[in-house]
Structure 1
């Protein structure tokens, strides 16, 4: 295949083995008793679980009408590994565990990588569905387990069940001035017959596990479905992907290869260069998994080695990793420097955006009294309010927390109720009640109206004074 496809292989390998075997890498661990949760395509007759038998990938290309489409189907083929003990009467009996000297043998399924490559000319796909049949034959092998004296203690039987899958590929031109093509690939597991109620462990041996596609073109380019250009957004919204997630792979800026992955990724994913090897959990932290692996007891490590050859490699690597490589796992700085873009300006609705306003120090005159933060008022909600809840606030005293102005120049008072047990909490969260100046009356610390002489009394032409509440009081 092409170089970009080979470059994308590291990421594809991480997808292939995502969740293959989880820490603590032992067959007895509960998390390893239900295996292969990602990208499983079961036989169509198997209905005991809700797992699908097919996936659909749809992606967009531009300037690719004469391209060659390179498809690489990759998946794991489950290999049954069964340990059998030799019996005196002759023959063998399946067992979960068999020890022979210092070696432990466990019954635990493994998996074999499978790859199928095909190349299809784009002109042959336009308006026509092409079918690619994938056949993987079954096989069986036996390995004797012998003692140091040469006696047969048992055997290990490994077996692959035959698989059959189909790729259905077609392309169509999309209407519009951009000359876009939509490529559609349906991957189906057509292995059968399999009883619908067989245990899942058996159905997995007839399944495509961690199935994914690498799709490349020799000319033109794919469009990102994760972050498409604005002019192509309507076309990307029409793509329907089932049980898969197509992303651009390879070096950033390259758009000639797509990975159709069973797990959600971002465009141009990469493996951290500090990672010393696969831990079967690429979304985890290598340092944490490494440190926890080296803390396993010798008995646990022995079981992990017997569980799977790949688990044995993890145990070996964790024990042999030199200090300088362990230190690299602690973290890395990828970029240094100034931010690529200047900080965004303060939004217009933020009070600090207008230097002419200061909610903490501004004031407003109500009935001749200057009202600012910290003043106390009595609430008299106006008739223009339509909220029936306001009737419960009428006559209650409150403290002014801020004097605010809206974009139209209107003034409002933010207040908290004096008898509200949650006033301190509301104050700390900035959650207030809001009233116009004509909906409050100034009061003093005792809750009494503040008396202010009106203009008539000051001129000597009035007999009485009015309170801030508008009621006539004795002079």
Structure 2
């Protein structure tokens, strides 16, 4: 079931889903891509080799939603094992790499998106948990690799391991007279895990066995790599309500602060998502975000380093050698798409990635010692002792022209200036490349005064 607010939040949720999925330089051989899947991993509960959890808990506040329908959407990545095998003497032998003409195939796990949504009536959740069981069966597929003459040179075998998880949702009324509801969503990986020894031959899918007594798949094997194939990776929630409003836990209204302090979130953090002012959807992510996060409109697509700089990553992708590009393209289909996008990005779109000022804006003139300073004012620079940069020492006493008065996110004023004796001032002005000073770091000069 689709809803407009939930779908509007999908772009941010997708950024969470693929946070750290594959890091530059996007090659399987890169050291930082050998330890993978860092965020939102819910492992089988019996897997104890790392400190990664098997469950997460989200608690958030809903105001005026006592009769609402609640949409709870669990999204995660399901690791898919990809193994390349070479055809030799009538049998297939696993190999790290298989080349066939200009195409390279690598043994390297990728992932499949999974999504489960439950629509629940809030009155039925008050004081009673509703449980949604999630069972994903294993599967296996083969793709034959043929040579120039049509002969079989190998195959690519992919497999998903079975998963068993539960989603539990309940509501309660926190103490207080305001009629709030506290929602609690519990996500748990319940895939059984039997540590010890190597997994049986995976190509026969015996790395998992069926337990008749428990009616569940039991995973076998050792090591994080095998456990990840039975894990919920980058697990996060989208929670929407048809009535009422979610409250910010980071900045709740004064009357709801006591209730907000009772919310306990484990391995996840809920924030309001959507356009500023909307409070009908919450994103509960395994990474810390502020309320109303959004994807930069300049971004042409996922780079999988969501906290990195798109321009830098696109430029670095263009510096890869042909051999590095070949390996990156063989590492993951999403990496291949990223490389193609970087190579085909028009100059005007690349220029948009060079930087965007979102929070600085024009401000009214400021006053220093009773005199107004605004665009066009002539000033003498007196940086003062709080400046530690050695370059500022060479600017002391220089005269400059104020190009703009700006306000930052904290409300502080800044003067954007160009030096009067700078021969490149016009070029800097055309590109918006200014020097920035606080109002108390300049002295106002009369426009008619000489330098």
Greater CA radius of gyration, 1 or 2?
1
* SS of equivalent residue, structure 2 residue 70: strand
The reply to whether residue 50 of structure 1 matches residue 79 of structure 2 is no
Superposed, 1:425-444 pairs within 5 Å as none
**Mapping of residues 250-289 of structure 1, within 5 Å:** 250-289=274-313
Within the candidate set 241, 247, 251, 2:265 is matched to 241
SS at match of 1:317: helix
1:87-102 to 2 correspondences below 5 Å: 87-88=88-89, 90-102=90-102
Matches within 5 A, 1:12-411: 12-88=13-89, 90-195=90-195, 198-334=222-358, 337-338=361-362
Give the equivalent residue in structure 2 for 1:430: none
TM-score after normalising by structure 2: 0.74
Query: How far apart are 1:59 and its partner, in Å?
Result: 0.3
Q: Is the 8 A contact 1:217 1:256 kept in 2?
A: yes
Q: In the superposition, relative to structure 1, how do residues 341 and 246 fare at CA in structure 2: closer, same or farther (>3 Å)?
A: farther
State the shift of 1:333 in Å. 2.8
Which whole-Å CA distance do the structure 2 matches of 1:255 and 1:116 have between them?
A: 22
Instruction: Give CA-to-partner distance per residue, 1:16-71, whole Å, 9 cap, x none.
Output: 00000000000000000000000000001111111000000000111011011101
Residues 407-441 of structure 1, C-alpha deviations (whole Å, 9 max, x = no match): xxxxxxxxxxxxxxxxxxxxxxxxxxxxxxxxxxx
Distance 2:128 2:182 in 1: 13
1:267-291: per-residue Cα shift (whole Å, max 9, x none)?
0000000000100011111011111
Once the two structures are TM-superposed, the CA of residue 194 in structure 1 deviates from its matched residue by 3.7
Residues 83-111 of structure 1 show CA distances to partners (whole Å, capped at 9, x for unaligned) of: 011111x2211110111111111000010
- Residues 194 and 203, structure 1, Cα contact 8 Å, conserved in 2: no
Deviation of 1:139 after TM superposition, in Å, equals 0.6
Following superposition, the deviation at residue 334 of structure 1 comes to 2.6
Structure 2 CA distance, aligned partners of 1:113 and 1:91?
33
Q: For CA contacts below 8 A with separation 6 or more, give which structure has more relative contact order.
A: 2
- Paired with 2:126 and 2:180, the residues of 1 have a C-alpha distance of 12
Conserved in 1, the CA contact under 8 Å of 2:175 and 2:259?
Answer: no
Change (3 A) 1:337 1:39: closer
Native 8 Å contact 1:62 1:180 kept in 2: yes
Secondary structure of the 1:300 match is helix
| Distance in 2 (alpha carbons) for counterparts of 1:36 and 1:51 | 11
Given that residues 79 and 160 in structure 2 are in contact (C-alpha distance below 8 angstroms), is that contact kept between their aligned partners in structure 1?
Answer: yes
Q: How far apart, CA to CA, are the structure 2 residues paired with 1:79 and 1:288?
A: 30
- Whole-Å separation in 2 of the counterparts to 1:14 and 1:152: 39
User: Structure 2: how far apart are the matches of 1:85 and 1:231?
Assistant: 66
Distance 2:275 2:184 in 1: 24
Distance of 2:161 and 2:365 partners within structure 1: 56
Provide structure 2 residue ranges, at least 5 long, that are not aligned to the other structure. Answer: 197-220, 368-451
User: Number of residue pairs matched?
Assistant: 342
CA contact (8 A) 1:43 1:194 kept: no
Q: Secondary structure at the match of 2:193?
A: coil
Asked if the contact 1:165–1:190 (Cα under 8 Å) also holds between the matched residues in 2, the reply is: yes
**Mapped partners of 1:34, 1:341: distance in 2:** 53
Quote how far apart the aligned CAs of 1:302 are. 0.6
Shift of 1:225: 0.6
SS state of the match for residue 192, structure 2? coil
Specify the alignment match of 2:446 in structure 1. none
- Structure 1 unaligned regions, length at least 5: 344-475
1:214 and 1:259 in contact (8 A); partners too: yes
Whether the aligned pair in 1 keeps the contact of 2:163 and 2:231 (CA below 8 Å) is: yes
Per the alignment, do residues 191 and 63 of structure 1 end up closer, same or farther by CA in structure 2, a change over 3 Å counting? same
SS class of match (1:288): helix
